[in-house]
Structure formats: C-alpha cells, structure tokens
C-alpha cells in the first residue's frame, strides 16, 4: 500500500505522527469507451461553449452557477483565503460511545500507521480506546476539504472513518409514516420468531459478488477465444399475494428446515389472499343452515310411544289370527255337509 497522506494525531498535548492509507478498494470491473470498428479509445476534448476553442488545463478555473446564465469565477487566490487548516493534523475533539454514531454518517475508511518514534503513543491511544469502548471524534483536512471523522480500533490498528456532515443526510419523508397502520400481536410474534430462526453470526467471507464473478468469466472467455453459453433462465410467474400470517409461518418453517430443525406443528402453506377473501365471503352461506343438534337428538318421546304401541299391535295381531274351531262347531257343521252330499 502507498501512503496518501502524512500528518499527526493531536491527542491533548501528545502528537502522534502517522501515515494514512486507504482501507478499502473498489473491485468493480471498469471499461473504456472504444470505437466498435477498430477498438480505438474515445477521447474527449475540453472545448469552450462560447468560443468553441480547445482549452488547456492552465486556463481552466472553477465557476459557480448563480442562475440566469451568470457564472461567478473563483481563482486559486480566492481559495487561498479560506480558513482551511494546512497543519496536517488530526485534531481529537471528544470521545463518545460507539453506539451513538449513526452508521449512515460513515463515508470512507483509512488505516493509520505510526511513523518513526510514534509507535508507543500510538499503541497507548489504541489501547485506551479499546478499554473505554469509545470512539474519538476528530476533524481533519483531506483533499482540500475539512472533514469530520472518527478514530476507532480495528484488528489492532487505528481506523479513521470520514463522516458526512449532518446536513448531508436526507430526511426520510414518506407518506406511509403518517398512516395509522396497526400490527396485530400474533403477526409481530410470528415475525420475531422468523428473526430468531434466521439469526446467526455475520461472516463477511461467506458472501460474494456473483455478478462480478460471472462478468469476469465472460471477459476471460473472450481473451481465450472460447464461447460461454449461459443457461436460459426460466421466468418465474409473479407470486400471488399471500396471507401475511401464513407467509410468516411458512417462512419460519423454511428457515428451520434449512437449519435441520423440525417444522412447527400445524404448519400450512401460504394461503393466497384471494382464496382467503372468497372463504370469508362463503362463510355467511354456511351459517344460513345452522346445525342445531340438540333438538334432533331428542328421540326419547318417540321411543316411549313405540314402546306403548307395541302391546296394542300384538293384541291386534292376536285378534286377526284364526283360532282353532271348537268341537261343538264341528258337530253342527257335519249334518250340513252330509245334506249337501246327498243333494249332489
């Protein structure tokens, strides 16, 4: 790494000489604009919009547009009068708890390396920051601009994080913030359960830029003269809107399954909102035929009536049965039979 700045950390009456290194680097793949026919680089000329002539760097100044086509031109002498410190010092203003610094304010990170005999005071400041669990709020002039920054410890090295000024952070002004949206306790509990099921330890090395990797492969294939056939991506149909509670429950079960845990009991797939609405509309039709099981089960009077009717039926059946004829009847019938035979 190459140092981009040299200065000193002013810590009370202690001055710690340091060198500044950029702590991050962009890995984006950069391209040049070229002529499609022969690959020649495209160059742009600095021309004046008034006279049309090409302008050299020596004749270029800074201008501020005040509107209406008017421009205020500032020279190097104008900038020299500004109260920008040139002492190359990192002035410690105060020490604050680390959690009080909103991460949205962080801009760019730099490593600080002790220079010469400043190693001992450097280590002293580093250990003091570690023990106090605080960060130092500092001011520093970098690239002709005064910047607010923090000093904190990372992996045994002092890290300078430049910060945005408070008026450079936009206000989140969105309409839904004024709406009265109620979240039901069961939904909040299920969302919390989903967060717990997906909780883990952040390991940055587990993540990678898949797009950059694929793009680099395309470039390597071009260099080697081979062709890459990308698999066709199947366009997925847009997912239907699902019931929020069912979606949360299904998400929890999916997260548990990914961890090898058993899903919760009574788990169901997300129910489309349209189906849920139609089910709600069909509910009153079912209620139109209420099930009153109690009156239907009162069969005891019928049973008693059947029991009372049983003897009467038996008596009727006995009455209809043919009784055997008595002997007197038989004797009275015999002369009649004999007379009938004689006449025949």
**Pairing of β 5-11 and β 89-97:** parallel
- Condensed to tens digits (0 to 9), the pLDDT of residues 134-186 reads 999 999 988 778 899 999 999 999 999 999 999 999 999 999 989 998 888 98
Domain with CATH 2.40.290.10 in the chain: 5-25+70-168
Question: Model confidence at 282, in pLDDT bands (50, 70, 90)?
Answer: very low
The CATH class given to the 5-25+70-168 domain equals mainly beta
Question: Model confidence at 92, in pLDDT bands (50, 70, 90)?
Answer: very high
161 in Cβ contact with 147 (< 8 Å): no
284 has pLDDT over 60: no
pLDDT for 154 equals 94
* Dihedral, 20, 24, 29, 34 alpha carbons, nearest 10: -30
- Condensed to tens digits (0 to 9), the pLDDT of residues 287-337 reads 444 444 444 444 444 444 444 444 444 444 444 444 444 444 444 445 545
Tokens found for residue 7: 């200065």
Is the Cα torsion angle 46, 52, 56, 58 positive or negative in sign? negative
Q: Is 339 helix (H, G, I), strand (E, B) or coil?
A: helix
Question: Model confidence at 106, in pLDDT bands (50, 70, 90)?
Answer: very high
Residues with Cβ < 8 Å from 151, sequence gap 6 or more?
9, 90, 92, 112, 125, 129, 135, 136, 138, 158, 159, 160
Question: Model confidence at 237, in pLDDT bands (50, 70, 90)?
Answer: low
Distance from C-alpha of 204 to C-alpha of 87, rounded to nearest angstrom: 38
Q: Is-above-0.85 flag for pTM?
A: no
20 has pLDDT over 70: yes
> Average pLDDT in the 269-298 region?
46
């Amino acid at each position: 790494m190459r140092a981009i700045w040299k200065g000193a950390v002013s810590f009370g009456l202690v001055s710690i000489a340091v060198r500044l290194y950029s702590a991050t680097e962009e890995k984006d793949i950069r391209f040049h604009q070229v002529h499609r026919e022969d690959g020649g680089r495209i160059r742009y000329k600095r021309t004046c919009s008034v006279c049309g002539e090409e302008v050299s760097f020596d004749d270029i100044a800074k201008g501020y547009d005040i509107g209406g086509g008017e421009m205020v031109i500032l020279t190097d002498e104008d900038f020299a009068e500004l109260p920008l410190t040139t002492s190359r010092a990192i002035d410690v203003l105060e020490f604050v708890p680390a959690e009080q610094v909103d991460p949205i304010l962080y801009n760019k990170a730099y490593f600080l390396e002790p220079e010469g005999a400043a190693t001992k005071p450097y280590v002293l400041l580093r250990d003091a920051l570690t023990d106090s669990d605080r960060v130092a709020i500092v001011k520093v002039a970098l690239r002709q601009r005064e910047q607010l920054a923090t000093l904190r410890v990372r992996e045994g090295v002092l890290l300078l994080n430049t910060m945005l000024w408070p008026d450079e952070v936009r206000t989140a002004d969105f309409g839904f913030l004024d709406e009265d949206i109620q979240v039901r306790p069961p939904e909040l509990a299920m969302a919390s359960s989903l967060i717990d099921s997906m909780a883990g330890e952040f390991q940055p090395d587990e993540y990678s830029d898949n797009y950059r990797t694929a793009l680099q492969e395309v470039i390597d294939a071009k260099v080697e003269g081979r062709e890459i056939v990308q698999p066709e991506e199947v366009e997925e149909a847009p997912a239907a809107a699902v019931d929020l509670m069912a979606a949360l429950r299904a998400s929890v079960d999916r997260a548990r399954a990914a961890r090898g845990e058993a899903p919760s009991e009574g788990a169901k797939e997300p129910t489309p909102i349209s189906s849920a609405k139609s089910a709600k509309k069909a509910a009153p039709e079912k209620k139109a035929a209420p099930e009153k099981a109690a009156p239907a089960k009162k069969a005891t009077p019928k049973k008693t009536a059947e029991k009372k009717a049983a003897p009467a039926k038996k008596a009727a059946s006995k009455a209809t049965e043919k009784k055997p004829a008595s002997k007197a009847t038989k004797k009275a019938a015999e002369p009649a039979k004999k007379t009938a035979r004689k006449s025949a």
